[in-house]
Structure 1
Amino acid sequence: MSTANSNVELLAVLVDPDDADDGEYRFLVDGKHVKYVTIEPGVLPKDRTYGPELIPLLPAFPAGDWNEGRVRKDERTESLTFANLKKGQLPGIGNVWHGTKIDHLELKKVDGVRQTLHRVTHPDFDQPMLAKFAQFPWEIPYFAAETTSTAG
């Protein structure tokens, strides 16, 4: 069995059930690097959104300092390949109302409450807490609106 991508974990998926549009995927590589990967329609068999089935179908994740990439079929070989790798400036929440900042990779998920809301633990806190995670960069403005204080 190949060990390619044995260091890759699927974190989130957003796909078109008709496979007419690009699929969006978020992966964790080596337990510390979040990679956003767009997969072109028709490249993967339909309904391949479960990590253990999906990850072996992908080409080996390239080394290097990138956080956005695209998987497509090579026109010549018909094999899957990574293309358009880049280190993009990902959005973040700028209006932070609390001084405590925690790296999201330090949180341990205990269980899910909703798709983006999880009960988590962290070594700096005595009890579990709730954490809300944006799965894709385009969700950040919605999360920012939720955390912006309207008190004057």
Structure 2
Amino acid sequence: TLVVKQKLPGVYVQPSYQSAIMWFGVIFIRHGLYQDGVFKFTVYIPDNYPDGDCPRLVFDLPVFHPLVDPLSGELDVKRAFAKWRRNHNHIWQVLMYARRVFYKIDTSSPLNPEAAVLYEKDIQLFKSKVVDSVRLCSSHLFDQPKIEDPYAIM
């Protein structure tokens, strides 16, 4: 598949056993502000893919990040793919974007305004909250998956 050919370092995904339009994944962050972060997520692909909207990517636990909704854990994928184009956009690009947001922080139009303000005005407190977020996600790595599926990443 195109996802395998892209060789996205630190990003691993597999389709759900129950549904080809739901994928389970994990991102390993090796350096930068989110170093040692291990973030599990689910990709939800629209029923009418590739003709519909862009896929959604939701972290199992909300990550403290300007582009991640602090309640739902959803990454703002539409920022990179405002209009999903059938022959131009691919799921591997969504995965690459999800990885990249941890290395290049964008604070414009945030889903988490607190994270954006702290990144801009109090980087030390931002870093502290990131470390807490990384620890929280790590402490829940081996929890039972929220969705009962034999292919869910545990």
Q: For the pair shown, which has the larger CA radius of gyration, 1 or 2?
A: 1
Q: Would you say same fold, with TM above 0.5?
A: no
The alignment's TM-score, normalised by the length of structure 2, stands at 0.32
RCO comparison, higher one (Cα < 8 Å, 6+): 2
